[in-house]
Each structure stands twice: as C-alpha cells, then as structure tokens.
C-alpha cells in the first residue's frame, strides 16, 4: 500500500526508506523540498553574493527555497533579503547565532521542508558544495551531514587557529562517538526528523551541541568534504584564540555534563577516590614501618578530604543520571508536540 502525499522520510524508524529510490521518486506524488536557511546579523553587504552563489536546482530535489533569518540587524539586511526575493524571518533583537539557527529551523519546518541546509551569510561556504552535502541524505545513508572545510588550505586561518580547529573536532569525536572531521562547520544538512529532534541550549553557537545531541539520539551523522570561498571578513564568533578556547571548551564541557552526567562526575569521583586510597596506604605503610608511632597524619587527613569529595561527586553523578532520564522523557514529549505542530494534512491513502 502506498499513500498519496506520503513524506519522503519515514519519521518512525529513521530509516528513510523513500529517499533515493528511483521507483518511488518517479511517482507523481513524491516531492522533496529543500530549504536553505541563512542566519544573518548585519550582513547586508555580503548577503547578495551568498544568495547568488546558492543553487536553484539540484538532481533529486523538486523545490529549493531560501530563508534568511535576520537576527536583529540594523544595516538593512531584511530589505536586501526581500529585494533578493527570499523568505525573511525577522527577530526583534539580536539573540545570537544559536537562537537564530533554531529560528531558521522552526521556519523551515513550518514551510514543510524535507531537507534543511544551514549556511553562513558571509559566503564562506561554496554554493557548489550543496549537492555534496545533500547527497548522503538523498542516498538514504545519513540523517545529519556536516561539511568538512579544507582547514589546512584556508589562508585566512592562522596556524594556531588551524591547530585549535583540529583539536576541537577531535574532542567532539571522542565525546560524540562520531567521525565528524570539522565540528565547528556551520555548513550542514539535516532531514526533517533531525530538525524536529534538535534543541539548542547554548547562546553562543549551535555547532558542537547539535552534533553531540544527534549522536546521543542515535541519528546517523556523516561528514563530507566541501569547498570554501575566499574570506570576506573576520569571524565575529572568534575574537581571539584565547576567547575561542574558552568559549569552545566551556560549550563542550557543558554539553558533556548535560548529555553524559554520570560519566562527567563519576570519572573525577573515581580519580579522587583512587588518590585518597594511595594516600591512605602511604599512611598505613609508614605507620606499620614506624611500629605504630605517630607520623604522616597529613596524608590521612588529605585522604579523608578526598574521600568525602569523591562521595559527593558520586552522589551528584547518580542525581545527574536521574535528571538526564527526566530530560529524555521531556524531549520525547517535546518531539511529539513538534511533530503535531509541524505536521501537514495528508490526503486519504490510495492503493497502488
């Protein structure tokens, strides 16, 4: 049994059986809509080049629509976007990149997007790479695709920044268990189901949190090489290497604690307990060697303090795990609500 108007993705089991099937693709009722969202803040000068570089037609895609999210711009970004003939979502004040990203995702869902691509407004990412980005999704091999920039070949990146980029991506791979080559890349594609499931808590950036979150929800995350355009301006997110390390490190630590609270607290608790046991054994050794004479009481005091701290962290680990269970239940309720909110009415089923 085939259903007229059936969406191209099966949201119940994330297998996406309809994508990439030539037999179903040839049927008149199947239509795949791609929406490219562009979060913007004072990008009136760069927006025309960014929009002009994006493709209007792609194999396997029936309709492409561009949505500009104006994050409280004051330079006429909205007027420029409207002149370019694209959809505009305006935020009343500057809320930051992460919130602008989620506003674009919500807008794309309301416009019945089957695939959503996010790109930067400064024309950093080559529009020609859009086809490579959606290819794994159309083939049914991935749910979430991250574009991997040629970091080593980007002249505008300093050697220190290149090293930090590679280090940050390595840490994300360890935390998430994915094979993402460029974790901070904003050029990414996602299915409708991924867009429904993602939720960003950070006010700084969405890049790291969404990867870890997708991996935690057992979504298929892939990485593909992409091309980049020459830099048009300095990054507004990275003020300095020290600022980048602090903000990125803080974001990673927060994500790790939120999504893996038991490991986050149990590992340091175990290390403290091991150190306490070593100090206690040191005291016992010297106590026995001295024939019961007093001495090395500092080791015993420090061991008691470390044991107490270890116990506290273990308690926090268990409490955090219970909170994480509640969070997952709330996420399921939120997902059901979002599915109901963004669901399109389906025609009555027809038999093939």
> Helix (H, G, I), strand (E, B), or coil: what is residue 20?
coil
Judge whether 265 and 186 are in contact, CB under 8 Å: no
Residue 346 pLDDT class (50, 70, 90 cuts): very low
Structure-block tokens of residue 28: 């008149």
Mean pLDDT, all residues of the chain: 82
Tokens, residue 90:
């305006």
What are the angstrom distances between the C-alpha of 51 and each of 28, 44, 128, 182, 288? Answer: 30, 11, 12, 23, 78
pTM assigned to the model: 0.77
Q: Please check the confidence at residue 119 and state whether its pLDDT lies above 70.
A: yes
Among 113-117, 128-132, 255-259, 331-335, the minimum mean pLDDT is found in 255-259
To the nearest whole percent, how much of the chain has pLDDT over 90?
39
- Three-state SS string across 259-319, please? HCHHHHHHHHHHHHHHHHHHHHHHHHHHHHHCCCCCCCHHHHHHHHHHHHHHHHHHHHHHH
45 pLDDT higher than 50: yes
188-214 in b/e form (b: 16+ CB < 10 A) is bbbbbbbbbbbbbebebbbbbbbbbbb
Q: Are strands 115-118 and 188-191 parallel, antiparallel or unpaired?
A: antiparallel
The helix/strand/coil state of 135 is: helix
Collapsed DSSP state (helix, strand, coil) of residue 110:
helix
Contact 342, 14 (CB under 8 A): no
Alpha-carbon gap, residue 172 to 180, rounded angstroms:
8
Residue 335's CB is within 10 A of a number of other CB atoms, namely 17
322-331 tens-digit pLDDT: 998 988 888 8
pLDDT for 19 = 41
């Amino acid at each position: 049994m085939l259903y007229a108007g059936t969406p191209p993705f099966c949201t119940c089991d994330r297998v996406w059986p309809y994508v990439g099937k030539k037999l179903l693709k040839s049927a008149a009722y199947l239509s795949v809509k791609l929406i490219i969202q562009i979060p913007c803040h004072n990008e009136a000068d760069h927006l025309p080049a960014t929009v002009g570089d994006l493709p209007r037609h792609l194999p396997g895609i029936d309709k492409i629509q561009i949505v500009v999210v104006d994050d409280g711009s004051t330079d006429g970004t909205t007027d420029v976007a409207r002149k370019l003939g694209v959809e505009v979502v305006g935020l009343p004040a500057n809320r930051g990149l992460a919130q602008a990203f989620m506003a674009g995702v919500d807008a794309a869902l309301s416009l019945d997007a089957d695939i959503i691509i996010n790109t930067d407004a400064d024309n950093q990412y080559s529009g020609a790479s859009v086809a490579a980005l959606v290819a794994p999704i159309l083939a049914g091999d991935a749910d979430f695709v991250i574009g991997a920039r040629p970091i080593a070949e980007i002249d505008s990146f300093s050697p220190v920044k290149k090293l930090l980029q590679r280090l940050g991506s390595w840490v994300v791979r360890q935390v998430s268990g994915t094979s993402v080559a460029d974790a901070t890349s904003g050029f990414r594609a996602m299915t409708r189901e991924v867009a429904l499931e993602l939720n960003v808590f950070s006010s700084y950036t969405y890049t790291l949190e969404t990867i870890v979150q997708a991996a935690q929800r057992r979504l298929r995350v892939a990485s593909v090489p992409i091309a980049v355009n020459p830099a048009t301006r300095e990054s507004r997110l990275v003020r300095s290497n020290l600022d980048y390390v602090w903000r990125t490190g803080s974001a990673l630590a927060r994500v790790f604690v939120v999504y893996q609270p038991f490991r986050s607290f149990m590992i340091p608790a175990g290390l403290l307990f091991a150190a306490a046991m070593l100090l206690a054994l040191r005291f016992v050794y010297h106590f026995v060697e001295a024939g019961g004479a007093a001495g090395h009481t500092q080791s015993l005091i420090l061991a008691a303090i470390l044991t107490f701290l270890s116990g506290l962290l273990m308690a926090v680990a268990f409490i955090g795990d219970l909170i994480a269970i509640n969070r997952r239940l709330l996420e399921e309720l939120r997902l059901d609500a979002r599915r109901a909110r963004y669901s399109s009415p389906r025609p009555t089923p027809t038999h093939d």
